[in-house]
Amino acid sequence: MTSAPVQRPPVDTVKNAKKNSEDKQPYRELGLADNEYARIKEILGRRPTSSELAMYSVMWSEHCSYKSSKVHLRQFGEKVPDAAKDILLVGMGENAGVVDIGDGWAVTFKIESHNHPSYVEPHQGAATGVGGIVRDILTMGARPVAVLDSLRFGPAEAPDTGRVLPGVVSGVGGYGNCLGLPNIGGELVFDPTYLGNPLVNALCVGVLRADGIKLAKAEGAGSKVVLFGARTGGDGIGGASVLASASFEAEGERKRPAVQVGDPFAEKVLIECCLEIFAADLVTGIQDLGAAGLSCATTELAAAGSGGMAVDLDLAPLRDQTLVPEEILMSESQERMMAVVTPDNLAAFMAICEKWDVTATVIGEVNDSGRLTMRWHGEKIVDVPPRSLAHEGPVYQRPIGRPYDQDALNGDHGNGLPRPKTGDKLCATGLKLIASPNLADKSWVTDQYDRYVLGNTVLAQPEDAGMVRVSEDGVLGLALAVDGNGRYTRLDPYAGAQLALAEAYRNVATTGARPLAVTNCLNFGSPEDPAVMWQFSEAVRGLADGCQQLGIPVTGGNVSFYNQTGRTPILPTPVIGVLGVIDDVTRRTPMAFTQDGHQLYLLGDTRDEFGGSEWANVVHGFLGGKPPKVDLDREKLLADVLINASRDGLIDAAHDVSDGGLFVALAESCLRGTTGARIVVPDDEDPFVFLFSESAGRAIVAVPRSEEVRFTDMCTARGLPARRIGVLDILESAIEVQGQFRLPIGELRRAWSGTLPALFG
Amino acid sequence: MRVAPRVGVLTFPGSLDDRDALRAVRLAGAEAVPLWHGEKWLSDVVAVVLPGGFSYGDYLRAGAIARFSPAMASVIDGARNGMPVLGICNGFQVLCEAHLLPGALIRNDHRKFVCRDQQLRIENNRTDWTSGYEENQQIVVPLKNGEGGYVADRATLDELEAEGRVVARYVGDNPNGSYRDIAGITNAEGNVVGLMPHPEHAVEDLTGPSTDGLAFFTSVLQKLVGTPA
């Protein structure tokens, strides 16, 4: 049986666009505004061809162009602290920032969202989120060495969470495990506002020699443009502009094919192939194909280099021979890279690809014409100035308006909420908190992630930060933590962003590593809503100011807008990743309480602060008031003490005090370890405030008796409040709060570990 | 001075724990030799480790394609002639597909990937890879797999038990539905061992839950160079 040849519409050429200049084009359906379409015509001096229109629509989408966020994000560059300029090898704007960590090593790291695809198709959406960020890191010339994932879902008991969460976790795990990347940390948070809009933020970190950085630029006329990796298929077409830039309420079914499908084996092979190519120094420029696929890779490479490139699009290897040029240009098929290779190096480049069975095809050449041109069966279908797509997209100063309910929200401080007064009630409150989904044992999730592969993992979840050894020949290590708090940010976006930054910074320091640089994933609602734009602008300002004050630069990140269901946006959720360095990983400080008789100290000040707290959320379902006070100078001081104490061997365990307060921190360190703890509430403290307040800038440490004097002397000399609150007791398998309650660790463990398995099986 | 024996670690496309196996071999005192799946010649190694990972993406079945690689033909020849071969995780799957060991490994009964610190009992300390353990010694090493359920027909299982060829058994909760809690087995000669958990991830205090795994690699070294005087 023979099938009739498929009838294809004629390809729209440049010649045709000039001739039929008044043809109607579906630019609105592609997400372009009237004024944007007019500008494209002005740039080209004619209407765009349909291929050009496809390229502009994806490159000028919110996701690729940052058109609503750009004016705010500039602050990250303007407020780079002087102290940080020396270590910043590559700043914002490249695929990922690179920082110098000494000994000739550099680290590149970045966090990125894959929120909308993960709602439509949880497993594939999350998997390709991991795949995409790993390729960003690889593109810088680095070997990816670890991933972290920050996940947010609707209420844990909601039926749709039961659909989305297991898929996302199996996607993150399945892809990362198959790539052989240890997953060393992350977050898992539940809140009703994420029900129709989960957040899946993936962070990848890579290590490279400081002189081995690769950049995305096409330089040197005559150099070849090589497309290598997977073949181009029909998946993810329009993903960038349709899925990431417009709300997709109730259209999940229709847009399912727009989610990319990942193949981690192909990516693993691509990684090893690229690293071998980098080691042989065979590329002058390299770019991964992520959002906007070939459109993005060709325009960004050309725009950053000599300025011109000629591509024969019909040479691109296809998985589906029926694809038309517009689709090839927009396809977001995974596991593809584009390299610029001089003619001299081409044979060696191709030989390595062949060794790894990676398809590689020369599809074009660099020139100095200043134009990106593409041909299809000999006819010119694209002729554009590449910078107009990559760098000169529209920029909007969106209207900003403080939400009308902000004052009411801040004024409703919840001071009248009933508080537990007796020992029994305090104990019941603690148990209720530790069993709540946000604070319960996360191993149902993290047991699905390989934390051991590569053999350099020194600390992994649930530790305060993940830590990996940079090279097995040495003891230099890097640490990473990601944190966010949507409730705090809703109450005060400026402070909320700083609190997320402070927590990640503190978590890194708690392990003994010195915080060095910041990446961020800014998850917000629609930028067309002035209230959301106010949240966004305040959060960015808070983060930029905070980083400047802490002396650590923002090296890159990602903005995800349109996170809302109907007209209801998610809680504004900046997720902050902090990278730290530790000179000697054998000096790390773990969180577990293991040593009998060690003295417990609470560092920092505890105030009556319950705005946005887990207690108000879990016990009263209440959100109002102000978040805890931010004091970044105090955070710096606390970090200094934690780092020095770790280096000098003055402490044996340490844990950050944050969500759920001191009680939860104590419980987590006991559950992770082998001892109980006997605690005394200081006379001047209210037991409830002491146990459950979420005041920032605090940590608990376990100090050997032999080091107690040195440790307290150091705190005194530096002016950090340090209060002895108890002792670790190996015989007392309980948390005993003197005069209040005694809670056996077994009972605590049952409450803590039962929650997620009961919900998700 | 004695020259350290050369122990190879075979990398397939998609192997993941190959660097870790090389490290473990090195820490045990042998010379670690990376081997490539496409090379038939095994570089004069005297023992081979097949590492964990997802060889060839586990397309078809885990380990099903890897067994047909040129290097595997040499490994199979060597194994039949007494060369010590240890297959870990995906390597265990490859050994079963190559019929050097009986049975098969299937998807975990709970359908999820599992990574945890696993307690094992070493029941056979007479193999090339386990002579450094006490009989019935309990050890803790990482376990991480999605297809780690060991299955075989009843006759095979009975034979394995009768001949003492169950090398290691899970202690406590069975992590993947393996029949009779089997974590590792050996061939009749004791030179070929397959193990689902990962001893190569328990060789350093800094990065592992213990150093209990190191004895797999020192055992084979002792076999190759003899007991030091």
Domain residue spans of chain A: 214-392, 406-760
The reply to whether A180 touches chain B by the CB within 8 Å rule is yes
Edge-first strand listing for the sheet containing A477-483: A457-459, A466-469, A477-483, A573-582, A514-523, A554-560
Residue A86 near residue A102, CB atoms below 8 Å? no
B113 with A268: Cβ contact below 8 A: no
| Share above pLDDT 90 across residues of chain B, in percent, rounded to a whole number | 86
Q: Where are the alpha helices (DSSP H) in A596-733?
A: 614-620, 632-647, 661-672, 687-692, 708-718
- Across the interface, do B20 and A457 touch by the CB < 8 Å criterion? no
CA distance A692 to A676: 19
Helices A264-279, A159-179: axis angle to 10 degrees equals: 40
Question: Do residue B115 and residue A449 have CB atoms under 8 angstroms apart?
Answer: yes
Residues B133 and B125: beta-carbon distance below 8 Å = yes
Instruction: Report the alpha-carbon distance of residue A527 to residue A562 in Å, rounded.
Output: 7
Q: Which CATH superfamily is domain A406-760 in?
A: PurM-like, N-terminal domain (3.30.1330.10)
User: Residues A72, A114, A116, A598: which is the catalytic one?
Assistant: A114
What is the rounded distance in angstroms from the CA atom of residue A189 to the CA atom of residue A202? 14
C-alpha A561/C-alpha A543 separation (Å) is: 17
CA atoms within 13 A on the CB side of A686: 11
Do the interacting molecules here have an ipTM over 0.85? yes
Phi, psi of A671, deg, nearest 5: -65, -30
Question: Is-cis flag, bond preceding B51, omega within 30?
Answer: no
Identify the burial level of B162 via C-beta atoms within 10 angstroms of its C-beta, where 0-12 means exposed, 13-18 middle and 19 or more buried: exposed
The answer, for B19 touching chain A at a CB cutoff of 8 Å, is yes
Q: Which of B94, B119, B88 is nearest to B181 (CA)?
A: B119
Q: Which of B58, B113, B144 is the closest to A452 by Cβ?
A: B144
B79 neighbors B100 (Cβ within 8 angstroms): yes
Minimal Cβ distance to A447: which of B14, B115, B207: B115
Stated length of chain B: 229
What single-letter amino acid sits at A713?
D
> Using an 8 Å Cβ cutoff, are A526 and A562 in contact?
yes
pLDDT at B197 over 70: yes
Question: How many angstroms separate the CA of residue A457 from the nearest CA in chain B?
Answer: 5
Q: What is the mean pLDDT of each run of 10 residues along chain A (761 residues)?
A: 53 91 87 94 94 92 90 91 84 82 94 93 93 92 96 97 97 94 97 96 96 85 94 70 39 48 87 95 92 89 86 93 88 91 96 95 94 94 93 93 96 94 97 98 97 97 97 95 98 98 98 97 96 98 96 93 92 98 97 97 97 97 97 98 97 98 98 97 96 98 97 98 97 94 97 96 87
Contact between A269 and B142 using a beta-carbon 8 Å cutoff: no
Residue listed under structure tokens 């500039």: A74
The residue with greater pLDDT, B119 or A319, is B119
* Of B68 and A158, more confident: A158
Residues constituting chain A: 761
Residue A82 backbone phi and psi in degrees, to 5: -55, -40
CATH topology of domain A214-392: Phosphoribosyl-aminoimidazole Synthetase; Chain A, domain 2 (3.90.650)
Contact A345, A282 (CB under 8 A): yes
Contact between A512 and A646 (Cβ < 8 Å): yes
Calculate the alpha carbon distances from A692 to A183, A409, A426, A659 in Å.
30, 22, 9, 9
A206 HSE (CA, 13 A, CB side) = 27
pLDDT for B8-49, tens place per residue? Answer: 999 998 999 999 999 999 999 999 999 999 999 998 999 999
Distance CA B26, CA B24 (A): 5
pLDDT at B79 over 50: yes
Q: Is A266 in CB contact (< 8 Å) with chain B?
A: yes
A194 interfaces chain B, CB cutoff of 8 Å: no
Q: Work out whether strand A88-90 and strand A97-102 pair parallel, antiparallel, or are unpaired.
A: antiparallel
What Cα–Cα distance (Å) separates residue A604 from each residue in A9, A635, A637, A673? 69, 9, 10, 23
Non-local CB neighbours of A694 within 8 Å, separated by 6+ positions: A609, A610, A612, A613, A614, A615, A628, A658, A659, A660, A661
Asked whether the beta carbons of B69 and B38 are under 8 A apart, the reply is: yes
Residue A239 in contact with residue A116, Cβ under 8 Å? no
Q: E-strand spans in A561-652?
A: 564-565, 568-569, 573-582, 599-603
Say how far apart CA B198 and CA B117 lie, in whole Å: 10
CB A570 within 8 A of CB A524: yes
Strand A372-376 and strand A466-469: the pairing is unpaired
Is A265's CB within 8 Å of B16's CB? no
CA of B209, closest CA in chain A: separation in Å? 10
Catalytic residues of B: 89, 198, 200
What's the rounded Cα separation, in Å, for the pair A185 and A148? 5
In angstroms and rounded to an integer, the radius of gyration of the C-alpha atoms of chain B is: 16
pLDDT value of residue A233: 86
* Rounded distance between C-alpha atoms, residue A705 and residue A727, angstroms: 10
3-state helix, strand, coil in chain A (%, to 5): 40, 20, 40
Q: Give the gap in angstroms from C-alpha B198 to the nearest C-alpha of chain A.
A: 9
Nearest CA in chain A to B15: A180
Nearest alpha-carbon partner for A501 in A480, A474, A483: A483
A180/B198 CB distance under 8 A: no
Bridging pattern class, strands A741-744 and B6-11: unpaired
Identify all chain A residues contacting B214, using CB atoms and an 8 Å cutoff: none
Residue A287 near chain B (CB below 8 Å): no
Q: B197 CB near a chain A CB, below 8 Å?
A: no
Q: For B115, which of A272, A450, A469 is closest by C-beta distance?
A: A450
Query: Is the separation of the CB atoms in A183 and A173 below 8 Å?
Result: yes
**Cβ–Cβ < 8 Å for A504, A521:** no
Q: Is B124 left (phi over 0), alpha (psi -120 to 50) or beta?
A: beta
Cβ contacts from A onto B, under 8 A = 84
In angstroms, rounded to a whole number, what is the distance separating the alpha carbons of residues B133 and A692? 49
Tokens (6 digits) for A53: 């229109």
C-alpha span between A318 and A235 (Å, rounded): 12
- Compute the mean pLDDT over every residue in chain B, rounded to the nearest whole number: 93
| A629 contacts A490 by C-beta, under 8 angstroms | no
Q: Which of B:68-97 have CB within 8 Å of A? A: none
Cα–Cα distance for residue pair B33/B9, rounded to 1 Å:
6
Query: What element of type H or E holds A340?
Result: strand A336-341
Report strand pairing: A477-483 vs A514-523: unpaired
What are the structural domains of chain B?
6-225 (3.40.50.880)
Q: Is A684 helix (H, G, I), strand (E, B) or coil?
A: coil
Residues 6+ apart with CB under 8 A from A743: A427, A430, A431, A734, A735, A736
What is the amino acid identity at position B144? K
3-state secondary structure chain B: CCCCCEEEEEECCCECCHHHHHHHHHHHCCEEEEEECCCCCCCCCCEEEECCECHHHHCCCCCCCHHHCHHHHHHHHHHHCCCCEEEECHHHHHHHHCCCCCCEEECCCCCCCEEEEEEEEECCCCCCCCCCCCCCEEEEEEEEECCCEEECCHHHHHHHHHCCCEEEEECCCCCCCCHHHEEEEECCCCCEEEECCCHHHCCCCCCCCCCCCHHHHHHHHHHHHCCCC
What are the tokens at B123? Answer: 């029941």
H helix runs in A511-628, sequence order = 530-550, 614-620
Active site residue A655: no
Ranges of beta strands (E only) in A154-198 are: 183-190
- CA distance, residue B164 to nearest chain A CA (Å): 31
- Residue from A68, A140, A178 nearest A535 by CA: A68
